[in-house]
């Protein structure tokens, strides 16, 4: 251990040590801030109470998930997500339209399918919407 330390001291100039510490500090700070608030829009799809899919909102796509009464189809486009097909009778989930704000989501209660935008998305100044 002492030998290793001596080697490291020999191998680096004072400026080196500053550079190395600064580099690691910067990179660690970046990692910490990114992993407590991930960048890039993402949505999570839940059936019942567990997560079944994670959707990258940066990639246009259509996915189908199995809900309690049937398959539900979701569409991702331009950083937003919505229901396009649902086996429920009221289709209220589809009428909820595009979701893109962080924390926003749409849910089909009879089919027990929910999609919510996590991380990224346009930031909002609130934790939930009352309606």
Partner 1 sequence: MPSTTEPAAGRQPPALAALRRDAHLAWLAAFAVALHMLEAALPPIVPGIKPGLANVVSVAALCLWGWRTAAVVSLLRVLVAAILLGTLLSPAFWLSLGGALAALAALGAGAALPGRGLGPVGYSVVAALAHIGGQLVVAYALFVQHAGLFVLAPVLGLGAAATGTFNGLAAYLLVREWDTENPEANVRPGA
Partner 2 sequence: MNRAEPRRPAAILLVLLAAALAGGCERAPEIHREQAFVLGTLVEITAADVSGDTFHRAAGAAFRELRGLHDALTPVDPGSRLSAFNRRGHDRWVDLEGPLAPLLPRALSVQRASGNAFNPHLGRLVGLWGFRQPPFPDAPPPAAAVDALLAAGAGDHALALRRRGGLQARLTRPGAALDLGGIAKGYALDRAAAVLRGRGVGDALINAGGDLRALGRRGGRPWRVGIRNPRDKDDVLAVVALRPGEAIVTSGDYERFFMHDGVRYHHLLDPASGRPARAARQATVLGPRATEADAWSTALFVAGPDGLARLGAEQPGLVIDAGGRAHANGAMRARLEWQSDEVAAP
Q: Which residues bind partner 2 (CB under 8 A)?
A: 13-15, 17-18, 21-22, 25, 29, 33, 36-37, 46, 48-49, 88-90, 96-97, 107, 109-110, 112, 114, 124-131
Provide the minimum distance between the beta carbon of 77 and partner 1 in the complex, in angstroms, as a whole number: 13
Give the ranges where 12-127 is alpha helix by DSSP (H): 14-36, 92-95
Residue 121 found at the interface with partner 1 (CB under 8 A): no
Spacing of C-alpha 95 from chain mean position: 23
Residue 26 found at the interface with partner 1 (CB under 8 A): yes
**Nearest CA among 129, 85, 77 for reference residue 104:** 129
Tokens of 63: 């996915």
Q: Which residues contact 27 (CB under 8 A, 6 or more apart)?
A: none
Residue 38 found at the interface with partner 1 (CB under 8 A): yes
Provide the minimum distance between the beta carbon of 25 and partner 2 in the complex, in angstroms, as a whole number: 6
| Tally of residues, the chain | 131
Which pairs from 9-13 meet CB under 8 Å and 24+ separation?
none
For partner 1 (CB under 8 A), the number of binding residues is 31
Query: Contact positions toward partner 1, by CB under 8 A?
Result: 8-20, 23-24, 26-28, 30-31, 34-35, 38-41, 56-59, 120
């Amino acid at each position: 251990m002492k030998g290793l330390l001596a080697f490291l001291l020999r191998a680096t100039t004072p400026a080196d040590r500053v550079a190395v510490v600064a580099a690691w500090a910067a990179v660690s700070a970046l990692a910490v801030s990114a992993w407590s608030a991930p960048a890039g829009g993402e949505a999570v799809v839940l059936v019942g109470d567990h997560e079944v899919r994670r959707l990258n909102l940066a990639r246009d796509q259509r996915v189908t998930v199995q809900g309690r009464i049937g398959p539900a189809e979701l569409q991702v486009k331009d950083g937003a997500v919505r229901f396009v097909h649902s086996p429920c009778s009221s289709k209220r989930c589809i009428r909820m339209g595009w979701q893109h704000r962080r924390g926003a989501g749409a849910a089909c209660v009879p089919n027990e399918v929910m999609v919510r935008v996590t991380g990224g998305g346009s930031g909002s100044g609130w934790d939930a919407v009352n309606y």
